[in-house]
A and B are shown apart, each in its own frame.
Chain A
Amino acid sequence: DSGVTQTPKHLITATGQRVTLRCSPRSGDLSVYWYQQSLDQGLQFLIHYYNGEERAKGNILERFSAQQFPDLHSELNLSSLELGDSALYFCASSTRPIGGEAFFGQGTRLTVV
């Protein structure tokens, strides 16, 4: 168990809908990262938050957004969902803003139908 908790584990929704994925980092970790794993794109970095502030964006669509709350949990919001958004979404956390080991949650499997 990495200590990173993601909910829900599975999510099935229809095209055009909006969903929220939740991540609780390891105790004491201030950095949260979101990654997307899909069959065609592989594992891709989406966004990074440190202590409530956005630090970096990767290949994140404009339909997607994220935030980190004062209690350090993070949410990834996916809207206007398309079939191609079906993927495994990982959250990872680390102690430092830059570098440090990244510990991954078990992921949320999103299926858009």
Chain B
Amino acid sequence: AQTVTQSQPEMSVQEAETVTLSCTYDTSESDYYLFWYKQPPSRQMILVIRQEAYKQQNATENRFSVNFQKAAKSFSLKISDSQLGDAAMYFCAYRRGYDYKLSFGAGTTVTVRA
């Protein structure tokens, strides 16, 4: 079974600063995908970024980037130039390449200080 672990229940960051969220996962698969989803107070689950396991290059989406360490099974999210609108709960998720379902971590609540 695949497990996703987010060890930081809460993180706080000053506006315009950088924050890094940790995620580790456990799998014996070689073909899989990793995701970060954002859940703001509106509770909508919004896909922030995705990473294919076969790609060595770390994914980047504007101010969001990941540090994918396949051997260490680590997948951290870096939010640069944090904005008030980044305040949300962030979930790390895993999916096998040929699979249908997502396995989620427990989430990290990010607070942005003005």
Interface residues in B, total, Cβ within 8 A: 22
For chain A, what secondary structure do more than half of its interface residues adopt (helix, strand, loop), or is it mixed? strand
Residues of B that sit less than 8 Å from A by CB: 33, 37, 42-47, 50, 91, 95, 97-107
In the complex, the answer to whether A90 meets B101 with C-beta atoms within 8 Å is no
In the complex, the answer to whether B47 meets A98 with C-beta atoms within 8 Å is no
- A contact residues around B45 at 8 Å (CB): 90, 92, 104, 107
In the complex, the answer to whether A101 meets B47 with C-beta atoms within 8 Å is yes
Residues of A that sit less than 8 Å from B by CB: 2, 31, 33, 35, 42-45, 48, 55-56, 58, 88, 90, 92, 97-99, 101-107, 109
For chain B, what secondary structure do more than half of its interface residues adopt (helix, strand, loop), or is it mixed? loop
- Taking the closest CB of chain A, its distance from the CB of B81, in whole angstroms, is 25
| A106–B101 CA distance with the chains assembled, in angstroms | 18
Q: Which residue of B lies closest to A104 (CB)?
A: B45
| A92–B46 CA distance with the chains assembled, in angstroms | 11
- A contact residues around B107 at 8 Å (CB): 42-43
Q: A88-B43, A104-B44 are in contact. Are A42 and B106 (CB under 8 A)?
A: yes
